[in-house]
Chains A and B, each alone.
Chain A
Amino acid sequence: MKPAKIKVYLDSDVIISALRSKAGAANLVALNGDLSWQISDIQALELAKVCKRQGLKLQKYKTIKINVKAIFSRYVLDRNDVHIITGAAKSKAKFLITYNLKHYLKDKIKEDLDIVILTPGQMLQYLRSRE
């Protein structure tokens, strides 16, 4: 029997990187068949604006509705990133994939929310280690 897909949450920098470069680690994560991911409604709005600035065409992604809660602001250094943690928690992701490691309090997030924060390359390395 095929193992269940691992739920991950992709930060916007990973999604935009995937759209910018097909050979990059972000695109390899976004297309990896062992992973499942969705974005929040707030992130969809954000991605639309960033794509416009970057001259990219936004694709359609599975979207979940979130209410950003102040309680999650304890996990980020920049309050503007709080919707990413909220989305990761709401989608029950096991991993948050980002290139912005510095802005998240990874130990606290792991301890309280059981979400591991990795870069795209680290996620792919983890998948290889399971083979």
Chain B
Amino acid sequence: MNSTTIAYTPIQVAEMLQVNKNTIYSLIKRGEILAKKIGKVYRVSAQSLSFWLTGLDYDLYLAEKEDSKNIASIQKDIATVRRSL
């Protein structure tokens, strides 16, 4: 998910999750993904999508994403140091 995008189309959500768009429409109809109907089309908010995917509020999702930028190098260094302790 892009941190500047506020809402996604069902097709974009399907592409992100690598599922068929009908699966997303079905999840929206069942209420599993909260979406807003604007005229004849649906939009899924970034907040709704992050909560559905991670169980985290959007700000917490972004805060974890911030940490994820460095986590691979941090864990690599920790693993190296732990082997030497």
| Interface residues of A, Cβ cutoff 8 Å to B | 12-13, 16-17, 20-21, 23-26, 28, 42, 45-46, 49-50, 53-54, 78, 80-81, 83, 99-100, 119-122, 124-125, 128
Contact present for A17 and B70 (CB under 8 Å): yes
Interface of B is mostly: helix
Classify chain B: how many residues form its interface, as a range: 20 to 34
Q: Judging by beta carbons under 8 Å apart, are A13 and B63 in contact?
A: no
Query: Min CB distance, B45 to chain A, in Å?
Result: 18
Query: Interface of chain A, helix or strand or loop or mixed?
Result: helix
Interface presence of B81 (CB below 8 A): yes
Residue pairs across A and B with Cβ atoms less than 8 A apart, 27 shown, are A12-B78, A16-B77, A20-B67, A20-B70, A21-B67, A21-B69, A21-B70, A23-B63, A23-B66, A25-B64, A26-B67, A45-B85, A50-B78, A53-B81, A83-B85, A99-B67, A99-B71, A100-B75, A119-B64, A121-B54, A121-B60, A121-B61, A121-B64, A122-B55, A125-B57, A125-B60, A128-B57
